[in-house]
């Protein structure tokens, strides 16, 4: 009889053993759903960190009420301790337990958009550990619209702290494969729910101040929020001087290659500008929506739809692909600058910083 034989590197690492490669757990088949929920819940109850799909991007989840689990989460991500983490809930009672009170505007937004891609920054309750909030008086709360994740949270009975499942500063993952590439040697399990429906991170609204502030634009149009609660404060293109939300730091959500956002009238113009960049032709990737170059002969030309939701769904996958291809220059055809493109332009600006 052979005992399980851990790899030498796992032995050396001792208690903090690194996983050579996380297991991918598929949840596509209904007969596997229940068993998968149970397995994930058991890991979370034991204080483990696992990667889970949400409708926005994949999250790196741990029990939000176990400081040790949250500490592990920060360590795996390499996240600065001052950057607070979003707490994920799946019913109103759990939401109530996270904060000390609900301003009327918060209630109205939650009723309109939960479950969904909206995070509300509220005054925290004593149940939320300091580590989750970066030591501050507020907590970001979100009810994700994702059947598996909701089932896991409800079965746990405690909220889950979950930042995006990527190393700090890098692109958010929108597939289990992206998580595997970035964090596969650091976690035990990645639940594979397929590509995320939304594709960019949730809208973050701070409802602890009046007027409420838009800390991070997302797929919910700003106008839809303002229709419900009136004007939001702050243009997210202007970094908050006291940095209330590190998602506002300029360099964030970034691919490894240099990324530029250009407009061009025709292929000749694009070619001239590319030559000026002095990069190997094969290491250039172009992401276009309207003026699609046909004969450039660069590494790759991808076409992304000029429709906000489809663009958001595809953007990070395209940028991840550029990273995998070891691109040195990513040229993104500038999207429109109308309000509905706010979140896309925000992410592209950060990716190019």
Residues interacting with Mg ion, by CB under 5 A?
164
Contact between 295 and 267 (Cβ < 8 Å): yes
Q: Which of 202, 222, 285, 345 binds ligand TXA (CB under 6 A)?
A: 202
Q: Binding to ligand TXA by residue 216, rule CB under 6 A?
A: yes
Q: Binding to ligand TXA by residue 332, rule CB under 6 A?
A: no
Minimum distance from residue 72 beta carbon to Mg ion (Å): 17
Interior angle at CA 163, CA 100 and CA 80, nearest 5: 90
Contact between 204 and 250 (Cβ < 8 Å): no
Cβ closest to ligand TXA, residue 208 vs residue 285: 208
Side-chain half-sphere exposure of 233, counting CA atoms within 13 A: 9
Cα distances from 167 to residues 96, 185, 346, in angstroms, run 30, 12, 20
CA–chain centroid gap for 213, Å, is: 20
Instruction: List Cβ neighbours of 204 (8 Å cut-off, separation of 6 or more).
Output: 119, 121, 140, 214, 215, 216, 218, 245, 247
Q: Binding to ligand TXA by residue 156, rule CB under 6 A?
A: no
Interior angle at CA 341, CA 339 and CA 346, nearest 5: 105
CA–CA dist 141, 156 (Å, integer): 17
Query: Which positions from 110 through 129 interact with ligand TXA, judged by CB under 6 A?
Result: 119, 121
Q: Binding to ligand TXA by residue 350, rule CB under 6 A?
A: no
Cβ closest to ligand TXA, residue 195 vs residue 271: 195
Instruction: List Cβ neighbours of 88 (8 Å cut-off, separation of 6 or more).
Output: 54, 59, 61, 64, 141, 142, 143, 144, 149, 153, 159, 160, 161, 162
Q: Which DSSP helix (H) or strand (E) runs through 224?
A: helix 222-229
Binding partner of residue 216 among ligand TXA, Mg ion, none, CB cut-off 5 to 8 Å per kind: ligand TXA
Query: Near ligand TXA by CB under 6 A, which window of 34-42, 94-102, 159-167, 281-289?
Result: 159-167
Binding partner of residue 215 among ligand TXA, Mg ion, none, CB cut-off 5 to 8 Å per kind: ligand TXA
Cβ closest to Mg ion, residue 164 vs residue 328: 164
Q: Which of 115, 159, 247, 255 binds ligand TXA (CB under 6 A)?
A: 247
Cβ closest to ligand TXA, residue 115 vs residue 144: 144
* H helical segments located in 21-146: 30-45, 67-77, 92-98, 104-113, 130-133
At 279, list the tokens. Answer: 């990069």
Cβ closest to ligand TXA, residue 133 vs residue 285: 133
Minimum distance from residue 86 beta carbon to ligand TXA (Å): 5
Task: Kindly determine how many residues on this chain lie close enough to bind ligand TXA according to the rule CB under 6 A.
Answer: 29
Minimum distance from residue 241 beta carbon to Mg ion (Å): 22
Q: Which of 215, 284, 298, 312 binds ligand TXA (CB under 6 A)?
A: 215
Minimum distance from residue 201 beta carbon to ligand TXA (Å): 4
Query: Near ligand TXA by CB under 6 A, which window of 66-74, 100-108, 200-208, 302-310?
Result: 200-208
Give the orientation angle of helix 147-156 with respect to helix 30-45, to 10 degrees: 40
CA–chain centroid gap for 194, Å, is: 15
The contact set with ligand TXA (CB under 6 A) reads: 54, 56-57, 59, 83-86, 119, 121, 133, 136, 138-140, 142, 144, 162-164, 201-202, 204, 215-216, 244-247
């Amino acid at each position: 009889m052979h005992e399980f034989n851990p790899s030498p590197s796992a032995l050396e690492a001792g208690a903090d053993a690194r996983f050579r490669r996380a297991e991918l757990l598929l949840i596509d088949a209904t007969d596997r759903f229940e068993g998968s929920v149970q397995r994930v819940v058991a890991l979370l109850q034991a204080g483990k960190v696992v990667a889970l799909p949400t409708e926005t991007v994949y999250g790196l989840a741990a029990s939000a009420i176990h400081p040790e689990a949250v500490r592990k989460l920060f360590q795996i991500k390499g996240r600065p301790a001052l950057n607070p983490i979003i707490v994920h809930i799946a019913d109103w009672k759990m939401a109530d337990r996270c904060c000390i009170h609900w301003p009327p505007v918060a209630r109205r937004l939650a009723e309109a958009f939960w479950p969904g891609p909206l995070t509300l920054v509220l005054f925290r309750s004593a149940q939320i550990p300091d580590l989750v909030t970066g030591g501050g008086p507020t907590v970001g709360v979100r009810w994700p619209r994702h059947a598996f994740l909701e089932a896991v949270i409800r079965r746990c009975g405690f909220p889950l702290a979950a930042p995006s499942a990527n190393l700090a500063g890098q692109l958010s993952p929108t597939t289990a494969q992206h998580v595997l590439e970035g964090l596969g040697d650091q976690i035990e399990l990645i639940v594979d729910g397929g590509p995320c429906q939304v594709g960019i991170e949730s809208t973050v609204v701070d409802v602890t101040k009046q007027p409420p502030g838009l800390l991070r634009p997302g797929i919910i149009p700003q106008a839809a929020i303002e229709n419900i609660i009136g004007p939001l404060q702050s243009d997210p293109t202007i970094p908050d001087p006291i940095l209330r939300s590190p998602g506002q730091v300029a360099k964030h959500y970034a691919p490894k290659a240099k990324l530029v956002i250009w407009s061009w009238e025709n292929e000749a113009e694009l070619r001239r500008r590319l030559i000026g960049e002095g990069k190997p032709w094969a290491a250039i990737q172009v992401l276009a929506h309207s003026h699609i170059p046909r004969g450039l002969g660069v590494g790759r030309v991808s076409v992304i739809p000029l429709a906000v939701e489809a663009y958001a769904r595809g953007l990070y996958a395209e940028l991840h692909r550029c990273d995998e291809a070891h691109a040195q220059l990513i040229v993104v055809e500038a999207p429109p600058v109308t309000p509905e493109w706010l979140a896309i332009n925000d992410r592209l600006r950060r990716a190019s910083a």
